[in-house]
Amino acid sequence: MGKREEVRRRTFAEILDTAGRMAEAEGWQAVTIRRIAAEIGYSAPVIYQHFPSKSAVLRELLERANADLLERMQSAVTDGPSSRAPYLAAAAYLEFARSQPGPYQLVSGGAGTDIDASTRRAAAAEVLAFTRRVVRAWAAETGAEPVDLDDACDLLWGTLHGLAGIGSIEDVGFDRALHLAEQAVSALLGYWSAPPPNARAHRTSADRPKVRGEK
Distances (CA, A) of 211 to 75, 147, 195, 202, 208: 44, 22, 21, 18, 9
Other CB atoms within 10 Å distance of the CB of residue 83: 13
pLDDT band (50, 70, 90) for residue 55: very high
Mean of the pLDDT values across residues 181-186?
94
Q: Which of 17-26, 102-111, 146-155 has the lowest mean pLDDT?
A: 146-155
Residues 21-53 pLDDT 10s: 999 999 999 999 999 999 999 999 999 999 999
* Cα–Cα nearest to 107, from 151, 73, 135: 73
DSSP state of 41: T
pLDDT band (50, 70, 90) for residue 114: confident
Q: What is the reported pTM?
A: 0.85
Q: Can you spell out the DSSP letters for 154-203?
A: HHHHHHHHHHHHHHTSTTT-HHHHHHHHHHHHHHHHHHHHS--HHHHHTS
pLDDT at 89: 96
